[in-house]
Structure 1
Amino acid sequence: MATQMFEGRGHAAVYQKYRFAPGKELQQTILGYLQEKRANPAELVVDVGCGSGQGTRFLAEHFKKVVGTDISEAQIQEARDEASMPNVSYLVCPAEELPFEDASVDLLTSFTAAHWFDIEKFMREANRVVKPGGCIVLSTYTVDMSVRYGNCSEKLTKVFRENWDLILKYAHNRIKHVKDDYKEIFEALPFPDKKRVTNIFDKIPMTVADVVGYMESASPYQTFMKNDPEAAKSLLQETEKRMLETMGVSSRETPVEFYVRHVCVLACKGR
């Protein structure tokens, strides 16, 4: 069964507020691959482990019917509460038990979630529901982010990473899949027609407050909070303070550029 890390309503609300949608370069990688592989447009797209729906809403702009699924009721409620296009719906279910008929799904996706699944069971389920000729796209952003602002980008990134590394000490062991660039997940894919792209870079517009909020939304931070609430809160306050000092500004709403590296695993099922 999937590892459940984002269950609480409070965490789901932070996740909705601070998690970003797939960036432009990642979107282009995915859409370019699908264009290359498919003669017909996808009728049904299922976004597994959709969380509060950031990736699901991107897919809705391009496909006829999109269903977001997640094991967390709180996350699905956040997704439903956010304005969506009429072709989007959401379901609560485990990634390893999808309520879709055999060979009924044209495209199965997962954004920054596949590492939480029971990989073996999920791959069996993916093989069951994806149509012949259908595709799977599994992506994640990695933990080596950078923050840029004026001529202090290097110092700013150093401040962010020092504190981010303290949070990552509380990471679940499944983060190993992210750290190895989804290599094991790629190898587990049951379709021989597959590829893994590890060097997709996206610039995400944020503010200082957004960067700190992103840190708060991370599952290791939530574990840190349960273990030592005062130290966890203090770390975020210290991060914000040091970032503002490094930038020479006073407003936490000051814009910065948040650079992320995506890994994307793409596969097509034989016809």
Structure 2
Amino acid sequence: MAARLFEGKDHAVFYQKYRFSLQENQQRVIFSYLDEKLSSFRLAVDVGCGSGQCTHLLAKRFEKVVGTDISNAQIEEANRAPHPPNVSYLVCPAEKLPFEDHSVDLVTAFSAAHWFDIPRFMAEVERVLKPIGCVILSSSTLDMRLHYGDRTEKLTQIFTQFQEQLSVYANEKINRVKDDYEEIFMSLPFQDKKRITDVLDKVPMTVAELMGLIQSFSMYQMFLKDQPEAAKAALQNTEQRILETMGVSSRETQLEYWTRQVCVLGCRSS
């Protein structure tokens, strides 16, 4: 069964505002692979698209891009946000895609595939992809660092401690992220496939944006639902520790969020 943890309206708002899109190195890996494998760039389907941060990037390469998500609230946010004219969104489960057999050139899922019912999703991927079609399943891992001058180690320690506090609220499907998508890679029903686990990107953001990003995490949202006052206090305490460690008072001070990403890339060749 797929996990459904991102459907609330408030959560979708944080997701739209603070989740970042594909960064430079991840884009390079993905688009180099597509340029190597694909000859047709007519239709791409971004499954579990959330509020569409990554979906619109596919519009530069494909004639038509459809983002799908099981959450009405996420799709509402995606539709409200500016997006290219060849991008559209619809509500549907990842395991039942409303596309004809062998009609899709590319299926993607960014920071989403680990939530799906993997056997049913893979069956849909196999059904909808063209005889020569690609699938890309990618996610940020839990290996994250905060960089700011010579305060990097201390800041990363603070962030890690907060992650550990949130970990009691982690859904079991997060284990698929912890194993660098190995289970998902092994489940992909194509012989032509590979897994890359060391894509590192550096995302500039302010302290305020970092706090917003944290609030978009499923683990924080579960903490907030279970113990709202404790969750808010923990977030405020973490922010204060970060500011003090940086030696600044403004939440608009910029740091770098380093994230290691994993990519599973496959091509159906028959």
TM-score normalised by L of structure 2: 0.99
SS of the residue corresponding to residue 2 of structure 2 reads coil
Q: Distance in 2 between matches of 1:18 and 1:95?
A: 23
Would you say 1:30 and 2:30 are equivalent positions?
Answer: yes
Q: Distance in 2 between matches of 1:201 and 1:57?
A: 22
Q: Which residue of 2 aligns with 1:250?
A: 249
Would you say 1:267 and 2:266 are equivalent positions?
Answer: yes
| Contact 1:133/1:270, CA 8 A, preserved across alignment | yes
Q: Which residue of 2 aligns with 1:126?
A: 125
Q: Distance in 1 between matches of 2:211 and 2:162?
A: 10
Q: Distance in 1 between matches of 2:167 and 2:200?
A: 21
Q: CA deviation at 1:83?
A: 0.3
Q: CA deviation at 1:228?
A: 0.6
1:193-228 Cα deviation digits (max 9, x unpaired): 000000000001111111111111000111101111
Q: CA deviation at 1:61?
A: 2.2
Q: Which residue of 2 aligns with 1:80?
A: 79
Residues 1-271 of structure 1: pairs in structure 2 closer than 5 A: 1-38=1-38, 40-271=39-270
**Unpaired segments of 5 or more residues in structure 2?**
none
Q: Distance in 2 between matches of 1:147 and 1:253?
A: 15
Q: CA deviation at 1:168?
A: 2.0
Q: CA deviation at 1:246?
A: 0.2
| Contact 2:41/2:61, CA 8 A, preserved across alignment | no
SS of the residue corresponding to residue 248 of structure 2 reads coil
| Contact 2:134/2:268, CA 8 A, preserved across alignment | yes
Task: Kindly provide the amino acid, as one letter, of the partner of residue 7 in structure 1.
Answer: E
SS of the residue corresponding to residue 53 of structure 1 reads coil
- The two structures, once aligned, show a CA RMSD in angstroms of 0.8
Between 6-15 and 155-164, report the one with greater CA deviation. 155-164
**Unpaired segments of 5 or more residues in structure 1?**
none
Q: Which runs of 4+ in 1 moved over 4 A?
A: none
Q: CA deviation at 1:161?
A: 1.1
Q: Distance in 1 between matches of 2:225 and 2:8?
A: 12
Instruction: Give the number of aligned pairs.
Output: 270
Determine what percentage of the aligned residue pairs are the same residue.
Answer: 58
TM-score normalised by L of structure 1: 0.98
SS of the residue corresponding to residue 198 of structure 1 reads strand
